């Protein structure tokens, strides 16, 4: 047999000749890493993008502009790493668009009716940036400010810690609020996001991660994704998406995701599409719970959302309208969906909802875990 023939036979026997052995090599050689992949100056402040990578190759990009997660490269069932979140290539595109892609939403994520609330009889008026209502912290929320950032490495993995000090009165909120957002990735493919805040005056706080997921890596829309939400009640809304104050059972309605359903199955029965808060616990306990599970059978990717917040907003990307994003993708209606752990919308005006108030001396703490798996 010729030398070439022997090589070909050996290749067949081991099946792993050529590029196929790349995966095995990566498995043994990959280490955790944090790399700064880009810096630019915005309003005189340094904006950096960090790349967190674990030994499986799972890769998260985070910028300190808005504490935004810009990319999540996650394996499908064949081991292919692809980006599963909507985003943009440049900070200026995040500045121009109001979708809150991958953003840290705060001080108060979601809506506050007419931007009004009171604490101990004192009335406050927030900026109104969503018709007559206040949404996701106002005109310049946490997603549009530059955070101080530093990377770290510890026993559990690699991460970035960011701090933003919001002045008293910013967007109408009382109290100087110091917020820390810590993002860390471990070798079990869990991205943990911890938001902590303290104030010098009584105020309200509700901070969340506003990622838009598409587990097919944008190859199709999210209507075939299967969703489970571990909450058997939801908070119905009026025509401006403010809760009516009722807490209603999902049983026998198109809102029932207590067992897995394709998102497209009943979406036509929900006017405008899903954009609703699900009640995980009516009484806030502060315990970490699995809130939701999202599965895409084509890729085998599965995402679990865990949080210690009492609610989760399921938003089916109804207002996406053709923006051009990362990797040349076009983001149309239902290209991505959000699962945003949170206090219920408009809690400061709804006495029967868990309270989002924060007083001096207390620490607001919200932990979110995104578990990436395949099935
Ligand atoms: C809200 C949507 C809103 C979107 C903005 C979601 O959290 O529920 O109503 O349009 O954020 O991007």
Q: Which pLDDT belongs to residue 129? A: 98
pLDDT in tens, the chain (375 residues): 333 333 333 333 332 333 333 333 334 456 899 999 988 898 889 999 999 999 999 999 999 999 999 999 999 999 999 999 999 999 999 999 999 999 999 999 999 999 999 999 999 999 999 999 999 999 999 999 999 999 999 988 999 999 999 999 999 999 999 999 999 999 999 999 999 999 999 999 999 999 999 999 999 999 999 999 999 999 999 999 999 999 999 999 999 999 999 999 999 999 999 999 999 999 999 999 999 999 999 999 999 999 999 999 999 999 999 999 999 999 999 999 999 999 999 999 999 999 999 999 999 999 999 999 999
Q: Which pLDDT belongs to residue 43? A: 83
Backbone torsion region of residue 335, taken as left when φ is above 0, otherwise alpha when ψ lies between -120 and 50, otherwise beta = alpha
- Cα(58) to centroid(ligand 1), Å: 27
Residue 50 host element (H or E): strand 45-53
Burial class from Cβ neighbours inside 10 Å (0-12, 13-18, 19+) for residue 345 reads buried
Q: Which pLDDT belongs to residue 24? A: 33
Q: Is 315 in the pocket of ligand 1 (CB under 6 A)?
A: yes
> Sign (positive/negative) of CA torsion 312, 163, 213, 141?
positive
Query: Please, are residues 100 and 109 in contact by the beta-carbon 8 Å criterion?
Result: no
Catalytic pick from 134, 209, 210, 276? Answer: 210
Query: For this structure, is 340 an active site residue?
Result: yes
How far from 105 is each of 31, 110, 145, CA to CA, in Å? 31, 8, 11
Which residue's entry shows tokens 């943990």? 192
At 311, list the tokens.
């609610």
Query: For this structure, is 78 an active site residue?
Result: no
Q: Is 335 in the pocket of ligand 1 (CB under 6 A)?
A: no
The DSSP symbol for 153 reads E
Please report how many Cα atoms fall inside a 13 Å half-sphere around the Cα of residue 2, on the Cβ side.
3
Question: What residues contact residue 152 under an 8 Å CB cut-off, 6+ apart?
Answer: 34, 158, 159, 160, 161
Give the Cβ contact number of residue 170 at 10 Å: 20
């Amino acid at each position: 047999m010729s030398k070439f023939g022997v090589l070909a036979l050996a290749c067949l026997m081991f099946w792993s000749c050529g590029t196929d052995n790349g995966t095995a090599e990566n498995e043994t050689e990959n280490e955790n890493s944090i790399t700064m992949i880009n810096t630019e100056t915005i309003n005189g402040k340094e904006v950096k993008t960090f790349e967190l990578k674990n030994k499986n190759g799972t890769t998260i990009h985070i910028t300190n502009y808005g504490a935004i997660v810009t990319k999540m490269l996650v394996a499908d069932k064949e081991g292919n790493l692809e980006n599963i979140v909507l985003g943009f290539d440049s900070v200026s595109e995040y500045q121009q668009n109001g979708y809150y892609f991958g953003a840290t939403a705060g001080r108060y994520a979601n809506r506050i009716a007419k931007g009004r609330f009171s604490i101990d009889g004192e009335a406050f008026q927030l900026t109104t940036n969503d018709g007559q209502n206040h949404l996701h912290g106002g005109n310049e929320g946490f997603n549009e400010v530059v955070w101080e950032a530093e990377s770290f490495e510890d026993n559990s993995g690699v991460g970035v810690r960011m701090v933003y000090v919001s002045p008293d009165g910013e967007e109408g909120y009382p109290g100087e609020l110091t917020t820390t957002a810590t993002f860390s990735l471990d070798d079990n493919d869990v991205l943990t996001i911890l938001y902590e805040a303290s104030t010098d005056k009584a105020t309200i706080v509700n901070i969340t991660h506003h990622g838009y997921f598409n587990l097919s890596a944008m190859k199709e829309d999210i209507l075939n994704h299967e969703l489970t939400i571990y909450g058997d009640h939801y908070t119905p809304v009026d025509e401006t998406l403010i809760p009516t104050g009722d807490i209603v059972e999902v049983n026998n309605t198109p809102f029932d995701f207590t067992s897995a359903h394709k998102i497209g199955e009943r979406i036509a029965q929900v006017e405008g599409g899903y954009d609703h808060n699900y009640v995980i616990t009516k009484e806030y306990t502060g315990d970490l719970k699995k809130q939701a599970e999202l599965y895409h059978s084509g890729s085998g990717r599965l995402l679990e959302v865990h949080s210690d917040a009492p609610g989760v907003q399921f938003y089916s990307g109804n207002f996406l309208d053709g923006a051009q994003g990362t990797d040349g993708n076009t983001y149309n209606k239902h290209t991505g969906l959000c699962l945003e752990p949170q206090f219920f919308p408009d809690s400061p005006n709804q006495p029967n909802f868990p309270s989002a108030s924060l007083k001096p001396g207390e620490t607001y703490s919200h932990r979110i875990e995104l578990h990436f798996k395949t099935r």
